[in-house]
Amino acid sequence: NAGVMQNPRHLVRRRGQEARLRCSPMKGHSHVYWYRQLPEEGLKFMVYLQKENIIDESGMPKERFSAEFPKEGPSILRIQQVVRGDSAAYFCASSPSAPLWTEAFFGQGTRLTVV
Amino acid sequence: DQQVKQNSPSLSVQEGRISILNCDYTNSMFDYFLWYKKYPAEGPTFLISISSIKDKNEDGRFTVFLNKSAKHLSLHIVPSQPGDSAVYFCAASDPLNSGGSNYKLTFGKGTLLTVNP
């Protein structure tokens, strides 16, 4: 899974600041999925994107959160005006085509800490 | 409402013995199940999966069993090795909840497996 690159690995933000998490999928992968893991919890689906399209964002909070996957560059998960409850590990995964988890890989995650 | 439950937060076994990790689910529409392994500070790594039309799938030392009537699945690791020490997540997908696809996985909270030399 080293092929899916997430950065930064660790991010500390003060309450009210913005957090930008980046995910570069594996080469040849055009589908990206973001999941969030709160402390002591399992991963929870946030959003599914294809190049320039949001397919399903039903797992993202309606406010303050947004995601994009532009034609060029990494996928970005943006959290505005962060609060302590946003502290979590954020993982992205990518797959070459339609969701096929046997061919999908997760990145190492970004650990967001809100102080 | 936790639809995928891993009731054992931790499990400790001796090297060479069998490790059995359990997972229960409540959503009868789940039709695809996966197990992931996760080391600290890394992302989950896919281990093995099973479709609801099967009751067993085997890959090397790893076997997943599915009991649909009991809504229960288990992962068997034989023989266990110290390198298997990690957190294991059970996950499931409901195609009706993801447009006929399975991109929306529901994960359990994980079981920490420790294999002692």
- What is the rounded average pLDDT of the residues A68-86? 96
Size of interface A-B (CB pairs under 8 A): 70
Residue A1 confidence class, pLDDT cut points 50, 70, 90: very low
B4-33 per-position pLDDT tens digit:
999 999 999 999 999 999 999 999 999 999
- Token digits of residue B44: 């989950």
Query: Please, which residues bridge with residue A89 across strands?
Result: A37, A111
- What is the rounded average pLDDT of the residues B78-88? 97
Q: What is the mean pLDDT of chain B?
A: 94
- What is the rounded average pLDDT of the residues B38-42? 92
Cα B77 from chain centre: 11
Contact B43 A56 (CB under 8 A): no
Query: Please, which residues bridge with residue A45 across strands?
Result: A35
Residue B99 has pLDDT above 50, yes or no: yes
- % of chain B exceeding 90 in pLDDT: 86
A24-48 per-position pLDDT tens digit:
999 989 999 999 999 889 999 999 9
DSSP characters over B71-83: TEEEEEESS--GG
d(CA A107, CA A21): 12
d(CA A17, CA B86): 34
- The predicted structure's pLDDT at residue B20: 98
Residue A2 has pLDDT above 90, yes or no: no
Contact A1 B110 (CB under 8 A): no
Which residues have C-beta within 8 Å of that of residue A45, sequence separation ≥ 6? A33, A34, A35, A58, A59, B103, B104, B105, B106
d(CA B89, CA A66): 27
- What is the rounded average pLDDT of the residues B96-112? 84
Interface residues on B facing A, Cβ-Cβ cutoff 8 A: 4, 34, 41-46, 49, 89, 91, 98-99, 101-110
A90, closest residue in chain B (CA to CA): B43
d(CA A59, CA A55): 11
Residue B98 has pLDDT above 80, yes or no: no
Q: Residue A34 in contact with residue A77, Cβ under 8 Å?
A: yes
- Token digits of residue B103: 């991109």
The 3-state DSSP class for residue A49 equals: strand
Q: Residue B25 in contact with residue B4, Cβ under 8 Å?
A: yes
Residue A30 is classified by DSSP as -
- The predicted structure's pLDDT at residue A35: 97
Q: Residue A28 in contact with residue A13, Cβ under 8 Å?
A: no
